Amino acid sequence: MSVLAASPVPLVVRTVEIPAPDDLLALLPENGISWVRRGQGLIAWGESARIDTAGAQRIDEADAWWRRVTRHAKVHDDVRQAGTGLIAFGSFSFADASAAGGSLVVPRYVVGLRDGRAWFTVIDGDGLTEPPTLDDALGESSPPATLPPITIEAGDRDAWATAVASAIERIGAGELDKVVLARAVQAHGDGPVDVRTVLAALAADYPSCWAFHVDGLVGATPELLARVDHGLVTSRVLAGTIRPTGDETADLAHAAALARSSKDREEHEYAVTSVTNVLAAHCASVNVPDEPSVLHLPNVMHLATDVTGVLSHNASALELIRELHPSAAVCGTPTLAAAHVIDTLEGIDRGRYAGPVGWIDAAGDGEWCIGLRSAEIDATDQSRMRLFAGCGIVAASEPDAEWAESEAKLEPMRRALGARIGG
């Protein structure tokens, strides 16, 4: 079931060039939308239209709605770069049955920065006889608030070990090859959490990740599900993880060991294959490197493969992510068997964690990641959150090692929140 909130009149869009800001995130008003990597990207606020969807067709329904909105919009774009003109931001639940569903939001204001050029977009349905300036749109936006004291629960290690052991047993019995199990921990602040303060910390600590906030999901994700840009599609697959030591020489050895690890290579190959098979159905050609690289992040090192292709037809970013999700990197192999094991063993509703999050423009191009290293902010109480981490389980996995990996993956959000670990 979906709730449609189409614009009552055709949207009118105006994009103009502006001086490049020194700090894009610093402009973000409270509860705004963020999509920033290496200081570049998009921020947005306000709402001109949206759709909320649910169920197995949630992405298809959002895509159909977006096509109707873009078909009737009047766009005046003086900049013509990726992210200018009419755009929408979205996030979708991991599971079809999740009450978290999905949403696609058309903001009222967008500021973008890419390759030294900056722009300001206003999206409205009133004709924009006199579009506001950026200063007018920002109004009296307050500066980001200092975070209150925040406590995060430690999590149930015994329950996690039991779930991982059961998954390994099922893999050994031949039910499936790989399953990704996730855990969620509750966090509570002594007052509301200003997401801008969290984003600033994430962007500073993890500049190579996408620091995002879309419809209550905030995080710094390293994994690109699909970027579509004028017929070119790219997907960055991450699977196979090791925790760095902080010693540069030792970590070079650890990276080499990760690249040779049969357990991690097996896990990674399942994820690469799941993405490649989808892209092959839409592309005239697909390029897959012979060997994965090692992506170094402050908290973990990942095996990484960038799969690229040239689209053979006019597929939108939403069409592709609907088929790419869930990849083996966040679900497992075979997909249906892994999803069943997740439902049986995990014991949580992931919400929009590990689901697609990103943006799309009027041409269907856009950038969508997997919502990892993230937290879900309670819609009714901004002092409460759930933090998530997941691990790929294969036959050679060990419960203690997977617990340590999940702890490493919780670190970005814990650090950004300045949280203490409670019981």
Alpha carbons 357 and 93: distance in angstroms, whole number: 9
Q: Are 88 and 105 in contact (CB under 8 A)?
A: yes
- Out of 178, 319, 346, 407, which one is annotated catalytic? 178
| DSSP H/E element including 156 | none
How many Cβ atoms sit within 10 Å of the Cβ of residue 164? 24
pLDDT digits (tens, 9 = 90+) for 249-261: 888 888 888 888 8
Assign 128 a pLDDT band (cuts: 50, 70, 90): low
Q: Are 318 and 59 in contact (CB under 8 A)?
A: yes
In b/e form, how buried is each residue of 11-46, taking b as 16+ CB within 10 angstroms?
bbbbbbebeeeeebbebbbeebbbbbbeebbbbbbb
The reported pLDDT for the residue numbered 129 is: 61
Q: Are 355 and 94 in contact (CB under 8 A)?
A: yes
Q: 269 CB contacts (<8 Å, ≥6 apart)?
A: none
Alpha carbons 11 and 16: distance in angstroms, whole number: 17
- Out of 61, 223, 376, 402, which one is annotated catalytic? 223
Q: Indicate if the pLDDT at residue 98 is higher than 70.
A: yes
pLDDT digits (tens, 9 = 90+) for 52-68: 999 999 999 999 999 99
Assign 127 a pLDDT band (cuts: 50, 70, 90): low
* Cα 156 versus chain centre, distance: 26
Q: Indicate if the pLDDT at residue 4 is higher than 80.
A: no
**Is residue 178 flagged as an active site residue?**
yes
Q: 145 CB contacts (<8 Å, ≥6 apart)?
A: 192, 194, 197
